[in-house]
Amino acid sequence: MKAWVSHRPGGPETLVWQELPDPVPADGEVLVKIAAVGVNYPDGLLIRDLYQVRPERPFVPGSEFCGVVEQTGRGVSGLREGDLVIGRCGWGAMADRIAVAEQRCVRVPADTPRTQAAAFMFAYATAYHALCDAAQLQAKQTVLVLGAAGGVGSAAVEVAHALGARVVAAVSSPSKLAFAMAHGASGGLVYEQQVEGREAQQALARRIKEAVGGDGCDVVFDPVGGGYTEPALRSLRRGGRHLVVGFTAGIPSVPLNLALLKSRHIVGVDWRSFVQEDPKLNDRNVHSLLAMWREGLLQPEVTETFALADAPSAIARLDARGALGKIVVVA
């Protein structure tokens, strides 16, 4: 089969399109013919050796997929040949086929649109875990979402809106704000492409407070970090929760007195380890999300697709801060 392979750390240009032997499913694994691959920011970090986990090289990137089960290994009981599945794999999906543990896959109805389904699990399950399990979000509460037009950000906008919360979006361009509002944000603001230094942070804090209104927001969903985190944290009302989700703009340092003031909570969110430690709760979350999608409460939007043979361009697009919603590689 053909696959993209990382032989050395570096950007998408270092990936090699090459022939590999077809994988064979081990006990408990299924062989899946890949239909589409969801592209996520960590894909670009992983190939550069900048992610929390470092697969041994050579490895195939691609962290989630939608595809058809072609073969089942011994001991597989919940999936059959011909099932359409979505799956999380960390790496390995940017290829014609993948052999993956049954537990990493969820069967979806045969008529599920494969392109959207490929990009569903990572972003929505992270957003749901953060908002529901970690922040205990309630209807009518206010959520500020940073990077609200990105993959995880736009999923958070949709999930929070579907749960009856009021969503305020913060993004770096008017088109991103329009995208977030089309997905459920009731308002928001456009911030600078870079927020550095005290003055810029104070100015952003004022603008966020104005957009949020009242005595502040209940939850901040923060997949961006950098200079954006402190102004957002300052917008939390008493008892508010700041969800630390990602650092596309860098890892920030914040004065801890901001947590003491107003008894705010800074809450780390690590979906990857949550899935390992509580796979059943994650499965329940994913099934709740799939039901919400079927009911029309979620509208996953794939704004760009790339052919599998052009997958590095998809990773580069995300690296360049250029994506709206989700980008998918189609096999």
Ligand X SMILES: NC(=O)c1ccc[n+]([C@@H]2O[C@H](COP(=O)([O-])OP(=O)(O)OC[C@H]3O[C@@H](n4cnc5c(N)ncnc54)[C@H](OP(=O)(O)O)[C@@H]3O)[C@@H](O)[C@H]2O)c1
Q: Which residue is nearest to ligand X (CB)?
A: 150
Q: Which is nearer to ligand X, 108 or 302 (CB)?
A: 302
d(CA 60, CA 76): 24
Q: Is the dihedral of CA 220, 224, 226, 231 positive or negative?
A: negative
Task: Verify binding: residue 44, ligand X, rule CB under 6 A.
Answer: no
Neighbouring CB atoms inside 10 A of 313's CB total 15
Element (H, E) at 305: strand 302-307
Task: Verify binding: residue 116, ligand X, rule CB under 6 A.
Answer: no
Q: Which of 23, 29, 40, 219 binds ligand X (CB under 6 A)?
A: 40
Q: Which of residues 282-321 bind ligand X (CB under 6 A)?
A: 318, 321
* Minimum CB distance to ligand X, residue 177 (Å): 9
Q: Which is nearer to ligand X, 97 or 129 (CB)?
A: 129
Check if the beta carbon of residue 141 is closer than 8 Å to that of residue 239.
Answer: no
Task: Verify binding: residue 42, ligand X, rule CB under 6 A.
Answer: yes
Measured in residues, the chain has a length of 331
Residues 143-160, buried b or exposed e (16+ Cβ, 10 A)?
bbbbbbbbbbbbbbbbbb
d(CA 288, CA 116): 17
Choices 57-65, 133-141, 146-154, 212-220; region in contact with ligand X by CB under 6 A: 146-154
Check if the beta carbon of residue 250 is closer than 8 Å to that of residue 196.
Answer: no
Task: Verify binding: residue 171, ligand X, rule CB under 6 A.
Answer: yes
Q: What are phi and psi of 284, to 5 degrees?
A: -60, -45
Instruction: Identify the three-state secondary structure at position 30.
Output: strand
Task: Verify binding: residue 126, ligand X, rule CB under 6 A.
Answer: yes
Q: Which of 248, 286, 312, 330 binds ligand X (CB under 6 A)?
A: 248
Task: Verify binding: residue 323, ligand X, rule CB under 6 A.
Answer: yes
Q: Which is nearer to ligand X, 2 or 207 (CB)?
A: 207
Q: Which is nearer to ligand X, 18 or 175 (CB)?
A: 175
Task: Verify binding: residue 124, ligand X, rule CB under 6 A.
Answer: no
* Minimum CB distance to ligand X, residue 47 (Å): 13
Check if the beta carbon of residue 167 is closer than 8 Å to that of residue 185.
Answer: yes
Q: Which is nearer to ligand X, 128 or 271 (CB)?
A: 271
Q: Which of residues 57-96 bind ligand X (CB under 6 A)?
A: none
Instruction: Identify the three-state secondary structure at position 17.
Output: strand
Task: Verify binding: residue 172, ligand X, rule CB under 6 A.
Answer: yes
Q: Which is nearer to ligand X, 65 or 122 (CB)?
A: 122
Choices 12-20, 21-29, 242-250, 280-288; region in contact with ligand X by CB under 6 A: 242-250
Q: E strands within 29-160?
A: 29-38, 64-72, 84-88, 97-101, 105-107, 142-146
Cβ-Cβ contacts under 8 Å for 260 (sequence gap 6 or more): none
Residue for token digits 């942070």? 201
Choices 9-17, 214-222, 270-278, 281-289; region in contact with ligand X by CB under 6 A: 270-278
Closest CA to 243 of 263, 260, 220: 220
Task: Verify binding: residue 176, ligand X, rule CB under 6 A.
Answer: yes
Choices 14-22, 25-33, 36-44, 254-262; region in contact with ligand X by CB under 6 A: 36-44
Instruction: Identify the three-state secondary structure at position 222.
Output: strand
Which parts of this chain interact with ligand X (CB under 6 A)?
40-42, 122, 126, 147, 149-153, 171-172, 176, 223-224, 245-249, 269-272, 318, 321, 323
